[in-house]
C-alpha cells in the first residue's frame, strides 16, 4: 500500500460535473427524508420508542404499542414476492414470449422446436440462479418489496461476476439491494434517466476492487478499515451530458448505458452496458419526482392514531383493574390522583375507600372498537383484504358454492391485477433481461438460437394471477365449443362441427396453460404422424372395400339366380 506522500491524480472535470448532478438529485430526495424517518419509526422500527416530532426543540418520546403496520408491511412484501417473483419456482418463475419490434407477442408455437426449448431452458436456469444458493437474488428482492411498501421506491442492481474467466462460483451475477438513503435519481418525461448510488466501503475493499487506483485511495485517512464513499452514476447514451461524463474512448465503443465511479473529485472507473444494470422504480409517482408514494404513506395517519388509541385503551383497562381510590383524611384535601392505584385524600363523610371511577364508567369498549376500525384501515392500505380471502364472509357460517368462490376469485384477480402487472413490468422484466444479458455475455448460457435473434423477448410471470388472466381465452373457447355441440345436437346437423379447427384450439390451450414446449408436436410432425397413420390404415381400408364389393357382388348374383335371370 502506498504511503501518505504518494501523489494523487489531478481532479477531473467529469467528476466535478457528476458530483454536481448528484448533489442536485440529493436535494430533491431530502424533501422526502423527513417522511421516510416517520415511516421507519412506526412501520419498520429499530427501537421500541420514537420521537413524535423531528425537530429537537419540540420532541417527545412515544412508545410503540401496536404491530398492525409492521405485520401488514411484511405480508405485503410476501405477497409481491409470491405473486410476481417466486411463482412456479419448482420449474420456472417466469417465461419468455417472443414479440415483434412493437412489443406485440407472437405465436410461440410457430417457432421451431429449438427456439421453444431454448426459451424454456433459459427460464429454468435463470430461475435457479435467482432463487437458489447463497448468492441468489432472494434477499435483494425481498428488501426491494419492503421498500416499495414502506418508502414507495426501490432499487436493485445486477452486476457481472468477478471471476468470469474461470467460470467459478464468483462468475455468477451478483444481486444487490440499495436502500433509499444511498440512492438519488433524475427523472424527465415520466421516466428515470440517471441513477446515482453512494457506495460506502472500507479502504481495503476499495483498493481490492480497483487495484490500479491504489494511489488515489492511499490519500485517504490512515487505516485500511477506515470507510471511503464512492459515488456511482448510471446514465444512458441519450443523456445530454453523456459526452462530458464518459471518456471519448469509452464512448467510441458505443453502448446504450454507461457507468462512472467517482471518489473525491477523481474518476475511479467507468464501464459500458448493453442493458441497464440498476433498476430503480417507484411504487407509483404523483408529483413528477422519482420518489413515489407507498401504502405505508397512505396508512401513516392511521398508524399514529392506532398507537395513541392503544395507549388510551390500555390506560382505561388499567384503571378498571386497579382504579384510583378516594379516602377520608379529615379536612385535608390532596391533589386528585387519577392514575391506577392512586389515593386521593378528601374531607368526605365516607368512612371506607371508594373508587373515583366506578366500574363501567371507563368505556374502553368504545376505544377498542375505534382501535379495530383503524387497524382494518391500515390493512386495507396495504391491500391485505385482497390477498387474504377466508373460507366464508365475515360472520357467515353458511358454506359457499363453487360458483360463489369462483366469482370472488375473479373479482380479487381483477382488483389485484393492476398492482401485479405494474411490478412485473417495472421490476421483473428489466431484471430478467439484465440477467439474461449478463449470462449470455459471460458464456453461462448456451447461445440464443438464430430464430430469436431479431425478436424482442417479453417476460411474463408464471404467477397464478397472470395465468388466470391468460386463461380467460380458455373459458371463451370452452363456452363456444359447448354451444357449438348443443347446436349440432339440436339440429342433428353434425356438419356444424366443421367450423371448429381442433388443431388450432389445442395449440391455444397449450399456450394459455403454459405447458412445456416438448409435449407439443410441431405442425410438420403432426402431419407426418397422420400420413403414417393413413398409410398404415390404407391396406385395411382397401381390404374392407374389397370385402364389401365382393359381398355386394355375391348378393347381386344370389338375387339374379332367384329371379331366374341368369338361367334364361
Query: Could you tell me where the beta strands, DSSP code E, fall in 137-277?
Result: 153-159, 174-177, 183-188, 191-202, 227-236, 257-263, 266-273
Confidence of residue 515 (pLDDT cuts 50, 70, 90): low
Residue 178 has a pLDDT of: 95
| DSSP secondary structure, 119-131, as one string | HHHHHHHHHHHHH
Residue 157 has pLDDT above 80, yes or no: yes
For residues 226 and 450, which has the higher predicted lDDT (pLDDT)? 450
Residue 165 has a pLDDT of: 59
For residues 465 and 296, which has the higher predicted lDDT (pLDDT)? 296
Report residue 101: phi and psi, to 5°.
Answer: -65, -25
Residue 52 has a pLDDT of: 67
Task: Measure the CA–CA gap between 95 and 89, rounded to whole angstroms.
Answer: 11
The domains of the chain are located at 299-403, 523-563
Mean pLDDT of 227-250: 91
Q: CA-based Rg of the chain, rounded to a whole angstrom? A: 36
Confidence of residue 4 (pLDDT cuts 50, 70, 90): very low
Percent of the chain with pLDDT strictly greater than 70: 75
Task: Measure the CA–CA gap between 387 and 156, rounded to whole angstroms.
Answer: 25
Here the cell at position 325 is 381510590
Query: How many other C-beta atoms lie within 10 A of the C-beta of residue 508?
Result: 17
Residue 205 has a pLDDT of: 87
For residues 353 and 381, which has the higher predicted lDDT (pLDDT)? 381
**Exposed, middle or buried by CB within 10 Å (0-12, 13-18, 19+), for 482?**
exposed
Residue 20 has pLDDT above 80, yes or no: yes
Read off the pLDDT of residues 66-106 as tens digits, 9 standing for 90 and up.
889 999 999 999 988 888 887 655 577 888 888 887 777 77
Read off the pLDDT of residues 249-287 as tens digits, 9 standing for 90 and up.
999 998 999 999 999 888 999 999 999 999 999 998 877
For residues 379 and 515, which has the higher predicted lDDT (pLDDT)? 379
Residue 1 has a pLDDT of: 37
Read off the pLDDT of residues 520-568 as tens digits, 9 standing for 90 and up.
777 777 777 777 777 777 777 667 767 766 666 666 566 656 665 555 4
Q: Pick the range with the lowest mean pLDDT from 42-46, 142-146, 275-279, 310-314.
A: 310-314
Chain mean pLDDT for the chain: 79
Read off the pLDDT of residues 158-173 as tens digits, 9 standing for 90 and up.
998 876 555 566 788 9
Task: Measure the CA–CA gap between 360 and 366, rounded to whole angstroms.
Answer: 12
Residue 391 has a pLDDT of: 47
Residue 5 has pLDDT above 60, yes or no: no
Is residue 333 within 8 Å of residue 347, measured between CB atoms? yes
Residue 406 has pLDDT above 50, yes or no: yes
Read off the pLDDT of residues 466-485 as tens digits, 9 standing for 90 and up.
777 666 666 677 777 778 78
Intra-chain end-to-end CA distance of the chain, in Å: 127
Residue 356 has pLDDT above 80, yes or no: no
pTM of structure: 0.77
Amino acid at each position: 500500500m502506498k504511503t501518505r506522500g504518494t501523489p494523487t491524480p489531478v481532479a477531473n472535470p467529469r467528476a466535478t460535473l457528476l458530483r454536481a448532478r448528484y448533489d442536485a438529485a440529493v436535494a430533491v430526495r431530502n424533501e422526502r427524508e423527513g417522511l421516510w424517518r416517520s415511516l421507519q419509526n412506526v412501520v419498520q422500527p429499530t427501537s421500541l420508542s420514537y420521537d413524535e416530532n423531528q425537530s429537537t426543540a419540540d420532541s417527545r418520546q412515544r412508545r410503540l404499542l401496536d404491530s398492525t403496520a409492521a405485520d401488514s408491511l411484511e405480508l405485503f412484501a410476501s405477497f409481491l414476492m409470491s405473486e410476481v417473483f417466486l411463482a412456479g419456482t419448482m420449474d420456472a418463475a417466469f417465461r419468455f414470449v417472443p414479440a415483434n419490434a412493437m412489443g406485440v407477442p407472437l405465436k410461440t408455437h410457430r417457432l421451431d422446436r429449438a427456439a421453444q426449448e431454448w426459451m424454456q431452458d433459459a427460464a429454468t436456469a435463470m430461475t435457479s440462479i435467482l432463487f437458489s444458493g447463497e448468492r441468489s437474488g432472494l434477499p435483494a428482492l425481498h428488501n426491494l418489496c419492503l421498500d416499495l411498501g414502506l418508502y414507495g421506491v426501490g432499487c436493485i442492481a445486477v452486476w457481472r461476476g468477478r471471476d468470469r474467466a474461470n467460470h467459478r462460483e464468483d462468475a455468477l451475477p451478483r444481486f444487490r439491494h440499495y436502500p433509499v438513503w444511498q440512492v438519488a435519481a433524475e427523472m424527465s418525461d415520466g421516466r428515470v434517466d440517471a441513477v446515482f448510488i453512494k457506495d460506502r466501503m472500507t479502504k481495503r475493499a476499495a483498493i481490492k476492487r480497483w487495484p490500479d487506483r491504489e494511489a488515489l485511495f492511499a490519500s485517504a485517512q490512515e487505516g485500511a478499515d477506515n470507510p471511503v464513499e464512492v459515488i456511482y452514476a448510471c446514465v444512458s447514451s441519450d443523456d445530454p451530458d453523456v459526452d462530458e461524463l464518459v471518456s471519448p474512448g469509452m464512448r467510441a465503443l458505443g453502448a446504450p448505458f454507461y457507468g462512472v465511479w467517482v471518489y473525491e473529485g477523481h474518476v475511479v472507473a467507468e464501464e459500458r452496458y448493453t442493458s441497464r444494470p440498476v433498476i430503480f422504480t417507484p411504487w407509483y409517482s404523483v408529483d413528477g419526482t422519482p420518489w413515489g408514494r407507498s401504502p405505508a404513506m397512505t396508512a401513516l395517519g392511521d398508524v399514529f392514531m392506532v398507537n395513541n388509541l392503544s395507549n388510551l385503551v390500555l390506560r382505561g383497562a388499567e384503571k378498571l383493574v386497579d382504579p384510583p381510590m378516594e379516602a377520608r383524611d379529615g379536612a385535608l384535601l390532596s391533589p386528585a390522583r387519577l392514575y391506577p392505584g392512586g389515593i386521593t385524600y378528601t374531607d368526605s363523610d365516607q368512612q371506607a375507600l371508594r373508587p373515583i371511577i366506578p366500574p363501567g364508567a371507563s368505556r374502553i369498549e368504545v376505544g377498542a372498537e375505534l382501535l379495530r376500525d383503524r387497524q382494518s384501515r391500515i390493512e386495507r392500505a396495504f391491500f391485505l383484504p385482497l390477498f387474504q380471502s377466508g373460507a366464508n364472509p365475515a360472520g357467515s357460517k353458511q358454506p359457499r358454492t363453487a360458483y360463489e368462490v369462483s366469482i370472488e376469485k375473479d373479482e380479487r384477480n381483477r382488483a389485484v391485477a393492476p398492482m401485479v402487472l405494474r411490478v412485473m413490468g417495472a421490476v421483473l422484466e428489466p431484471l430478467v433481461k439484465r440477467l439474461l444479458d449478463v449470462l449470455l455475455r459471460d458464456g453461462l448460457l448456451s447461445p440464443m438460437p438464430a430464430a430469436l435473434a431479431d425478436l424482442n423477448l417479453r417476460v411474463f410471470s408464471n404467477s397464478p394471477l397472470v395465468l388466470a388472466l391468460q386463461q380467460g381465452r380458455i373459458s371463451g373457447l370452452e363456452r363456444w365449443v359447448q354451444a357449438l355441440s348443443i347446436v349440432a345436437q339440436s339440429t342433428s346437423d353434425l356438419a356444424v362441427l366443421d367450423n371448429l379447427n381442433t388443431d388450432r384450439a389445442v395449440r391455444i390451450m397449450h399456450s394459455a396453460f403454459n405447458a412445456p414446449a416438448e409435449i407439443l408436436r410441431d405442425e410438420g410432425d403432426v402431419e407426418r404422424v397422420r400420413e403414417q397413420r393413413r398409410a398404415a390404415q390404407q391396406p385395411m381400408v382397401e381390404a374392407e372395400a374389397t370385402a364389401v364389393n365382393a359381398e355386394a357382388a355375391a348378393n347381386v348374383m344370389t338375387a339374379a339366380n332367384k329371379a331366374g335371370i341368369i338361367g334364361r
